[in-house]
Structure 1
Amino acid sequence: MIFAKVRRAALGAAFLLVTACAASPEPEGDASPPASGQPQTSASQAAPGEVLTSDNVTHVVNVPRTAPLNGPMDWNTDLAFQGDYLYMGNFGGFSIFDISEPTTPKIVSQVSCPAQQNDVSVYENLLILSIDAPRSGEDCDSTESQASWEGLRIFDVSDKKSPKYVGAVATECGSHTHTMVPKDGKLFVYVSSPGPEPSSETCPPPHQLLQIVEVPLDDPKSAKVVASPEIPIEGQGEATGCHDITAYPEKNLAAAACFGDGFLLDITDPVSPKLIQQVTDDENFQIWHSATFNNDATKVLFTDELGGGSAPTCSAQVPVTKGANAVYDIVDGKLEKRGYFKIPREQQETENCVAHNGSLLPIPGKDIMVQAWYQGGVSFLDFTDSANPKEIGFFERGPYPERGIAGSWSAYYYNGYVYSADIQMGLDVLRIDDPLTDPAKNVKMDDFNVQTQKSY
């Protein structure tokens, strides 16, 4: 969930693999913070790799990357949870951790299955990976040469020590991310991917905002694309596709971040989503990256991945409304923009930093979220007051000693702890102890896939 492919650069998204040392974006307009923004402090002076936290946040433990998933481009990506297990995607495959003792996570198994970018979700005994760059075939031993396949891979993880490859589904333009939508005993998967690319074998025009795959739970090998709904859009020209979609099946809603715009969808019929509203913010948002509902689905927090995740956008030269979060209230069924949030700590010019993946903390009556910011670290923000979101805690490291792309890709709350997938450093476990967040410790989750929200 970090960047679009080089061959789809026309969408305006930066590609980390070739822009690993991108310069800061040029500021547009007044860089001073608006009333709803967060003023930035001076640049962090932390030594390379040094851990800094707010007083209410504890860095519990770090589990470094290990072979076979510790090569130069084996970056950690997204996370999913089920019972006492954590699943972590990686450009080289995926890992399963036993987190029954959160202070001492243990690697149960690691599967070598290279692909960009292997974002992960888990449902019952099935694990699904998103593949967003063409490869020679669907199997794990495929290569980047003679590339003619991309899409979803499916594994059986009933035996956590020995996951088994089940099959795959080819999707047009691959799968940058995906979103599970369980409904009436069926599992639908919304596939997000940018496109089209006329010269590509796997990404021909036309290309819709999303594709829908049905995965039969009793026969996952027969999974297939069952719909590519035509959702009316305005102002995107030939460039379509979504970066990230968050579904809230209980509320029959989905919020889609689709590069140039944000969308609110009615998913009462999961195979035929209907457009409720399209919103645009050309002044502040470059890449609509992801979306998070609050618990009662009266708000949506959208993120902007300015620079595609490769640039140091958390600096005084970049306005606080760019590379940030925007909070929208849902009023009479429609989105209304209220405020912006960006971490208040200015990062050094060697540190890629921008808003990225996060999740709600289950706190009744409050809208509090934890969020990854790459080398900006992990931030806890309270957006209960939509017009004035504020940070209430943080964790970060000093610049990655070897320079280049690093930091927290995903940071999610699960049963009392926050788990952060650091691109280079491995798995971090954090704890926040604060009167505002302590009620979350009373909520027990049985599983958690961040793009499929559930009420608490």
Structure 2
Amino acid sequence: MIRFRTPRARRLTTVSIAAAGLLLASVATAPPGNAGVATGSAPSGTVDTTNTIPGVDEIVSSPNLRQVANLPKQAPLDATNSDLAFQGRYAFAGNYNGFVIYDISRPTAPTVVSQVYCPGSQNDISVHGDLLFLSTDSPRSDDSCNSTGTSATVKESWEGIKVFDISDKANPRYVKAVETACGSHTHTLVPARTRGTVYLYVSSYSPRAEFPDCQPPHDSISIVKVPLNKPTDAAVVATPNLFPDDGGYEGRPGASATSGCHDITAYPEKNLAAGACMGDGILMDISNREAPRVIHQVRDTVNFAFWHSATFNNTGTKVVFTDELGGGGAATCNEAIGPNRGADAVYDITGRGGARTMVFRSYYKIPRNNADTENCVAHNGSLIPVLGRDIMVQAWYQGGISVWDFTDSANPKEIAFWERGPLSADRLTGGGSWSAYYYNGYIYSNDMQKGFDVLKLTDWRTWTANLVRYGELNVQTQPSYLSW
């Protein structure tokens, strides 16, 4: 979600599986809902979208995607839900008031292991081993979990990264805070090329002259180095300028100028990262983890309003960028906005080494109109580890969850969907799925208002994903599939 900064105010993978003679690289993972079937599959393999807009809280879906569980939010973690991370039999869910650890050993009956109250939007989240990382992107009175909201004009206000020890999942322990310029809207966990260290690429934006800790220009990211055997030594080690020549896109009416990045996705095995940076999409060489280098930059001055996030395909030859038109709080999945705004953009990556470039191929947007009372736009999703195809699952806020195939970059097609009807029949009310990710046979969604959802996808096109078992998954740190 776009955050507009005012004076007041995201991953590592491990792999192991052998099945049917294939060695596949991998990463480690309420009562059933009334997932009524509303549509069928068209002969072409795309989803028939003749369904009407569902009623308030009514659930509709394609036959191949059904809800199997839901856990509502619980106080004091009853603020807005945000991102997700996974490790073994646990899911870790961010919330503007802290984070929740779920036991998902039985996906159809998840349970709460612990809740940690530690306010600080957005609480973007990642995990590695015994450590959990949270992003704080609102000015706080101090770096503690007892802090209060304050003003970004106050030099003593704090924003940045918080580090927790989660060796005991029932009793996480706060161990370190690292302040970063302009806070931490999101962060991306990037493993070092040698064992013992991870890096966090911290994305933030919206500087203002009156903010002492967020001064313009802000064309950089913060890189936090975390020694795994001594996380209390975590510190900012670099703040590389990603737009040294032109400062990034200057903006236009209805589209953001570049003043930092919103999110970065890393593909460590290929030493690549893709940055969604407000007005620009960038491809980076991260061979030197402390000095990422931009090798190509793209802009869409016709349809994109806010470059929000990125996802590589399995082979690292494509990247999908999302456009969060309206900041996640507007009704943009309607006839008036159309199919090319608030959508995904699929780019092929051509060339080799430092000469790689991104070439636009197509847009993808859910092929259903939503009500004008529903906030809906492209948001967080993950690749489904399917052999030989490029398929991802994605959250669209109140547009629900879409599974789509972009194997043919120029002709992406939806193959499954699931959604709830609007929260209100007469006024725009923010909600819906913030993040929808595939993990060890199920799709997990953190709904901003309705809580933690679990869905099961049953489709012949994705059966090979069932061979993959992750040990740990932070979606913005994409796993590698070395044998593919």
- Once superposed, which parts of structure 1, at least 4 consecutive aligned residues long, lie more than 6 Å away? none
Which residue matches 1:365? Answer: 388
Which residue matches 1:419? Answer: 444
Q: What amino acid is aligned across from residue 98 of structure 1 in structure 2?
A: D
| 1:393 to 2:416 alignment | yes
Identical pairs, percent: 55
Q: Contact 1:209–1:258 at 8 Å: present in 2 too?
A: no
SS of aligned partner of 1:354: coil
Cα deviation digits, residues 15-34 of structure 1 (max 9, x gap): xxxxxxxxxxxxxxxxxxxx
Q: Contact 2:258–2:277 at 8 Å: present in 1 too?
A: no
Tell me, in whole angstroms, the C-alpha distance in 2 between the residues paired with 1:39 and 1:363: 19
| 1:440 to 2:452 alignment | no
Q: What amino acid is aligned across from residue 364 of structure 1 in structure 2?
A: L
| 1:166 to 2:175 alignment | yes
Q: Contact 1:339–1:387 at 8 Å: present in 2 too?
A: yes
1:5 Cα deviation (Å)? 2.1
TM-score, normalized by length of structure 2?
A: 0.85
Which residue matches 2:95? Answer: 90
Alignment of 1:161-310 (within 5 A): 161-183=170-192, 184-185=194-195, 186-231=197-242, 232-234=244-246, 235-237=248-250, 239-310=258-329
Cα deviation digits, residues 245-276 of structure 1 (max 9, x gap): 00011000000000001000000001001111
Tell me, in whole angstroms, the C-alpha distance in 2 between the residues paired with 1:139 and 1:230: 29
RMSD: 1.8
TM-score, normalized by length of structure 1?
A: 0.90
Tell me, in whole angstroms, the C-alpha distance in 1 between the residues paired with 2:47 and 2:439: 30
Q: What amino acid is aligned across from residue 388 of structure 2 in structure 1?
A: G
1:45 Cα deviation (Å)? 2.7
Tell me, in whole angstroms, the C-alpha distance in 1 between the residues paired with 2:181 and 2:219: 9
Tell me, in whole angstroms, the C-alpha distance in 2 between the residues paired with 1:276 and 1:102: 41
Which residue matches 1:346? Answer: 369
Residues 91 and 142 of structure 1, relative CA distance in 2, 3 Å threshold? same
Which residue matches 2:12? Answer: none
1:40 Cα deviation (Å)? 11
Which residue matches 2:27? Answer: none
Unaligned runs of 5+ in 2: 8-45, 251-256
Alignment of 1:50-129 (within 5 A): 50-70=58-78, 74-129=79-134
Unaligned runs of 5+ in 1: 9-37
SS of aligned partner of 1:81: strand
| 1:46 to 2:54 alignment | yes
Tell me, in whole angstroms, the C-alpha distance in 2 between the residues paired with 1:89 and 1:453: 19
Cα deviation digits, residues 389-429 of structure 1 (max 9, x gap): 01000000000148511000000000000000000000000
Q: Contact 1:40–1:344 at 8 Å: present in 2 too?
A: no
Cα deviation digits, residues 264-300 of structure 1 (max 9, x gap): 0000001001111010001010000000000100000
Cα deviation digits, residues 11-67 of structure 1 (max 9, x gap): xxxxxxxxxxxxxxxxxxxxxxxxxxx999678431111111101111111110011
Cα deviation digits, residues 174-208 of structure 1 (max 9, x gap): 00100011011211110000132110122123323
Q: What amino acid is aligned across from residue 209 of structure 2 in structure 1?
A: P
Which residue matches 2:360? Answer: 337
Q: What amino acid is aligned across from residue 249 of structure 2 in structure 1?
A: Q
SS of aligned partner of 2:105: coil
Cα deviation digits, residues 299-339 of structure 1 (max 9, x gap): 00000000000011000001211100000001112100001
| 1:157 to 2:157 alignment | no
Q: Report the more deviating stretch, 417-426 or 225-234.
A: 225-234
Q: What amino acid is aligned across from residue 422 of structure 1 in structure 2?
A: D
SS of aligned partner of 2:273: strand
Q: How many residues are matched?
A: 424
Cα deviation digits, residues 119-151 of structure 1 (max 9, x gap): 100011110001111110111000013551101
Q: What amino acid is aligned across from residue 443 of structure 2 in structure 1?
A: V
Cα deviation digits, residues 141-163 of structure 1 (max 9, x gap): 00013551101111001000000
Q: What amino acid is aligned across from residue 2 of structure 2 in structure 1?
A: F
Tell me, in whole angstroms, the C-alpha distance in 2 between the residues paired with 1:313 and 1:45: 14
Residues 312 and 146 of structure 1, relative CA distance in 2, 3 Å threshold? closer
Q: Contact 2:271–2:287 at 8 Å: present in 1 too?
A: yes
Tell me, in whole angstroms, the C-alpha distance in 1 between the residues paired with 2:245 and 2:69: 45
